[in-house]
Chains A and B, each alone.
Chain A
Amino acid sequence: EAQVTQNPRYLITVTGKKLTVTCSQNMNHEYMSWYRQDPGLGLRQIYYSMNVEVTDKGDVPEGYKVSRKEKRNFPLILESPSPNQTSLYFCASSFLDLTDTQYFGPGTRLTVL
Protein backbone atom coordinates (compact mmCIF):
# COMPACT_ATOMS: atom_id res chain seq x y z
CA GLU A 1 0.00 0.00 0.00
CA ALA A 2 1.33 3.42 -0.97
CA GLN A 3 1.75 5.48 2.14
CA VAL A 4 3.67 7.96 4.24
CA THR A 5 4.43 6.76 7.75
CA GLN A 6 5.48 8.78 10.76
CA ASN A 7 6.77 7.73 14.16
CA PRO A 8 5.98 8.25 16.88
CA ARG A 9 2.33 9.24 16.57
CA TYR A 10 2.30 10.81 20.02
CA LEU A 11 5.19 12.15 22.08
CA ILE A 12 5.41 14.01 25.38
CA THR A 13 8.86 15.31 26.26
CA VAL A 14 10.58 17.97 28.32
CA THR A 15 12.33 21.17 27.31
CA GLY A 16 15.81 20.63 25.94
CA LYS A 17 15.67 16.88 25.38
CA LYS A 18 16.64 16.14 21.79
CA LEU A 19 14.14 14.19 19.73
CA THR A 20 13.65 12.87 16.22
CA VAL A 21 10.39 12.27 14.38
CA THR A 22 10.83 9.84 11.52
CA CYS A 23 9.08 10.00 8.16
CA SER A 24 9.20 7.38 5.45
CA GLN A 25 7.45 7.00 2.08
CA ASN A 26 7.28 3.97 -0.18
CA MET A 27 6.24 5.73 -3.40
CA ASN A 28 9.71 6.67 -4.69
CA HIS A 29 8.79 10.34 -4.40
CA GLU A 30 11.40 13.02 -4.96
CA TYR A 31 9.76 15.79 -2.92
CA MET A 32 9.24 15.58 0.84
CA SER A 33 8.31 18.20 3.40
CA TRP A 34 7.37 18.83 7.02
CA TYR A 35 4.48 20.96 8.27
CA ARG A 36 3.22 21.98 11.65
CA GLN A 37 -0.47 22.54 12.30
CA ASP A 38 -1.59 24.96 14.99
CA PRO A 39 -5.12 26.11 15.84
CA GLY A 40 -6.10 29.24 13.91
CA LEU A 41 -2.92 29.14 11.81
CA GLY A 42 -3.53 26.25 9.44
CA LEU A 43 -0.47 24.35 8.23
CA ARG A 44 2.92 26.00 7.90
CA GLN A 45 5.86 24.47 6.13
CA ILE A 46 8.99 23.85 8.21
CA TYR A 47 11.46 22.33 5.74
CA TYR A 48 11.32 20.64 2.38
CA SER A 49 13.55 18.50 0.20
CA MET A 50 13.54 18.31 -3.59
CA ASN A 51 15.89 15.33 -3.73
CA VAL A 52 18.45 13.33 -1.77
CA GLU A 53 20.94 15.61 0.00
CA VAL A 54 18.93 18.70 -1.03
CA THR A 55 16.98 20.47 1.71
CA ASP A 56 15.64 24.00 2.10
CA LYS A 57 13.86 26.13 4.66
CA GLY A 58 10.13 26.63 4.66
CA ASP A 59 8.27 29.36 6.48
CA VAL A 60 9.03 28.35 10.08
CA PRO A 61 12.41 26.53 10.19
CA GLU A 62 13.74 27.97 13.47
CA GLY A 63 14.45 25.28 16.04
CA TYR A 64 14.29 22.38 13.57
CA LYS A 65 16.73 20.37 11.48
CA VAL A 66 16.18 17.82 8.74
CA SER A 67 18.27 15.45 6.68
CA ARG A 68 17.70 13.54 3.44
CA LYS A 69 20.31 10.82 3.17
CA GLU A 70 17.98 8.40 1.40
CA LYS A 71 15.09 9.11 -0.94
CA ARG A 72 12.49 7.38 1.23
CA ASN A 73 13.34 8.96 4.62
CA PHE A 74 13.10 12.55 5.84
CA PRO A 75 13.50 12.79 9.63
CA LEU A 76 12.66 15.95 11.59
CA ILE A 77 15.08 16.74 14.41
CA LEU A 78 14.46 19.03 17.36
CA GLU A 79 17.86 19.55 18.98
CA SER A 80 16.52 21.44 22.01
CA PRO A 81 12.72 21.42 22.05
CA SER A 82 10.83 24.26 23.65
CA PRO A 83 7.16 24.54 24.68
CA ASN A 84 6.36 26.71 21.63
CA GLN A 85 7.12 23.66 19.49
CA THR A 86 4.14 21.85 20.96
CA SER A 87 2.11 21.14 17.84
CA LEU A 88 0.76 18.58 15.40
CA TYR A 89 3.36 17.69 12.79
CA PHE A 90 2.77 16.26 9.32
CA CYS A 91 5.19 14.82 6.84
CA ALA A 92 4.21 14.87 3.17
CA SER A 93 5.64 13.65 -0.12
CA SER A 94 4.94 14.08 -3.81
CA PHE A 95 6.30 12.73 -7.07
CA LEU A 96 8.43 15.69 -8.16
CA ASP A 97 7.28 18.96 -6.62
CA LEU A 98 4.36 20.84 -5.10
CA THR A 99 2.31 20.84 -8.29
CA ASP A 100 1.95 17.08 -7.87
CA THR A 101 -0.48 15.62 -5.37
CA GLN A 102 0.87 15.83 -1.83
CA TYR A 103 0.47 12.63 0.23
CA PHE A 104 0.38 13.28 3.95
CA GLY A 105 1.34 11.06 6.85
CA PRO A 106 -1.05 10.51 9.78
CA GLY A 107 0.56 13.15 11.98
CA THR A 108 2.66 13.28 15.15
CA ARG A 109 1.27 15.10 18.15
CA LEU A 110 4.16 16.55 20.13
CA THR A 111 3.89 18.08 23.59
CA VAL A 112 6.93 19.82 25.09
CA LEU A 113 6.64 20.49 28.81
Chain B
Amino acid sequence: GDSVTQMEGPVTLSEEAFLTINCTYTATGYPSLFWYVQYPGEGLQLLLKATKADDKGSNKGFEATYRKETTSFHLEKGSVQVSDSAVYFCALIDNTDKLIFGTGTRLQVFP
Protein backbone atom coordinates (compact mmCIF):
# COMPACT_ATOMS: atom_id res chain seq x y z
CA GLY B 1 0.00 0.00 0.00
CA ASP B 2 0.87 3.66 -0.08
CA SER B 3 3.34 4.90 2.50
CA VAL B 4 5.25 7.93 3.74
CA THR B 5 8.83 7.91 5.00
CA GLN B 6 10.23 10.72 7.10
CA MET B 7 13.70 11.33 8.43
CA GLU B 8 14.33 10.21 11.98
CA GLY B 9 14.46 12.85 14.66
CA PRO B 10 15.03 14.70 16.70
CA VAL B 11 16.34 17.52 14.56
CA THR B 12 18.16 19.99 16.80
CA LEU B 13 18.90 23.49 15.54
CA SER B 14 19.88 26.89 16.81
CA GLU B 15 17.52 29.80 16.28
CA GLU B 16 17.76 31.32 12.77
CA ALA B 17 19.25 28.15 11.28
CA PHE B 18 17.96 26.67 8.00
CA LEU B 19 15.59 23.72 8.35
CA THR B 20 15.03 20.75 6.07
CA ILE B 21 12.90 17.77 7.05
CA ASN B 22 12.92 15.06 4.40
CA CYS B 23 9.77 13.25 3.29
CA THR B 24 9.45 10.69 0.52
CA TYR B 25 6.40 8.72 -0.48
CA THR B 26 5.33 5.57 -2.27
CA ALA B 27 1.95 5.79 -3.94
CA THR B 28 -0.16 4.76 -6.88
CA GLY B 29 -0.78 7.78 -9.05
CA TYR B 30 -0.28 11.33 -7.79
CA PRO B 31 -1.63 11.75 -4.28
CA SER B 32 -2.28 15.02 -2.47
CA LEU B 33 0.54 15.71 0.00
CA PHE B 34 0.44 17.45 3.38
CA TRP B 35 2.57 18.63 6.24
CA TYR B 36 0.95 18.73 9.68
CA VAL B 37 2.49 20.19 12.84
CA GLN B 38 1.84 19.10 16.43
CA TYR B 39 2.83 21.52 19.18
CA PRO B 40 3.39 20.08 22.66
CA GLY B 41 0.15 18.93 24.27
CA GLU B 42 -2.00 19.81 21.26
CA GLY B 43 -3.65 18.14 18.31
CA LEU B 44 -2.28 18.29 14.78
CA GLN B 45 -2.72 21.37 12.62
CA LEU B 46 -2.43 21.55 8.86
CA LEU B 47 0.74 23.47 7.98
CA LEU B 48 0.66 23.30 4.18
CA LYS B 49 -0.40 21.12 1.29
CA ALA B 50 0.13 20.49 -2.42
CA THR B 51 -2.29 18.69 -4.68
CA LYS B 52 -0.33 18.19 -7.91
CA ALA B 53 3.19 17.86 -9.22
CA ASP B 54 5.40 20.96 -8.98
CA ASP B 55 2.94 22.69 -6.65
CA LYS B 56 4.59 24.55 -3.79
CA GLY B 57 2.75 24.76 -0.51
CA SER B 58 3.73 27.52 1.91
CA ASN B 59 2.65 28.87 5.27
CA LYS B 60 4.29 30.69 8.23
CA GLY B 61 7.65 30.75 6.40
CA PHE B 62 7.59 27.00 5.72
CA GLU B 63 7.64 25.65 2.17
CA ALA B 64 7.45 22.28 0.46
CA THR B 65 7.45 21.42 -3.24
CA TYR B 66 5.72 18.37 -4.72
CA ARG B 67 8.44 16.56 -6.69
CA LYS B 68 7.03 13.61 -8.62
CA GLU B 69 10.42 12.76 -10.17
CA THR B 70 11.90 12.04 -6.76
CA THR B 71 8.56 11.27 -5.02
CA SER B 72 9.47 13.78 -2.36
CA PHE B 73 7.87 16.62 -0.40
CA HIS B 74 10.63 18.02 1.79
CA LEU B 75 9.77 20.71 4.34
CA GLU B 76 12.03 23.78 4.49
CA LYS B 77 12.26 27.02 6.43
CA GLY B 78 14.93 29.63 6.02
CA SER B 79 15.20 30.78 9.63
CA VAL B 80 13.66 28.75 12.44
CA GLN B 81 12.45 30.16 15.75
CA VAL B 82 12.17 28.60 19.18
CA SER B 83 8.39 28.65 18.71
CA ASP B 84 8.76 26.25 15.74
CA SER B 85 9.72 23.45 18.14
CA ALA B 86 7.15 20.73 17.51
CA VAL B 87 6.61 17.39 15.81
CA TYR B 88 6.11 17.55 12.04
CA PHE B 89 4.17 14.91 10.12
CA CYS B 90 4.22 14.34 6.39
CA ALA B 91 1.05 12.73 5.00
CA LEU B 92 -0.75 11.76 1.80
CA ILE B 93 -4.22 10.75 0.72
CA ASP B 94 -3.99 7.30 -0.81
CA ASN B 95 -6.02 5.82 -3.65
CA THR B 96 -8.61 4.48 -1.19
CA ASP B 97 -9.15 8.01 0.19
CA LYS B 98 -7.33 7.37 3.45
CA LEU B 99 -4.95 9.84 5.07
CA ILE B 100 -1.60 8.08 5.55
CA PHE B 101 0.87 9.68 7.98
CA GLY B 102 4.60 9.35 8.37
CA THR B 103 6.03 8.59 11.80
CA GLY B 104 6.75 12.24 12.58
CA THR B 105 9.96 14.23 13.06
CA ARG B 106 10.60 16.14 16.26
CA LEU B 107 12.22 19.56 15.82
CA GLN B 108 13.95 21.22 18.76
CA VAL B 109 15.12 24.82 18.32
CA PHE B 110 17.39 26.36 20.93
CA PRO B 111 18.00 30.10 21.47
What's the tally of chain A residues with a CB closer than 8 Å to chain B?
Answer: 21
Q: Is B82 engaged at the interface, CB distance under 8 Å to the other chain?
A: no
Residue among B41, B89, B98, B99 with most chain A CB within 10 A: B99
Minimum CB–CB distance from A103 to chain B (whole Å) comes to: 8
Interface residues of B (CB under 8 A from A): 4, 32, 36, 41-46, 51, 89, 93, 97-99, 101-104
CB-defined A-B contacts under 8 Å, sample of 6:
A42-B4, A42-B104, A43-B44, A102-B36, A105-B43, A107-B42
Known: A90-B43, A105-B43. A43 touches B98 (CB 8 A): no
Cβ-defined contact, A101 with B32, below 8 A: no
- B43 proximity list for chain A (CB < 8 A): 4, 90, 92, 104-107
- A40 proximity list for chain B (CB < 8 A): 103
Q: Tell me what chain A mostly uses at the interface: helix, strand, loop, or mixed.
A: loop
Choose among A41, A98, A106, A107 the residue that contacts B99 (Cβ–Cβ < 8 A). A98
Interface residues of A (CB under 8 A from B): 4, 33, 40-45, 58-59, 90, 92, 97-99, 101-102, 104-107
Minimum CB–CB distance from A54 to chain B (whole Å) comes to: 13
Minimum CB–CB distance from B105 to chain A (whole Å) comes to: 10
Cβ-defined contact, A90 with B44, below 8 A: yes
Known: A98-B93, A98-B97. A41 touches B42 (CB 8 A): no
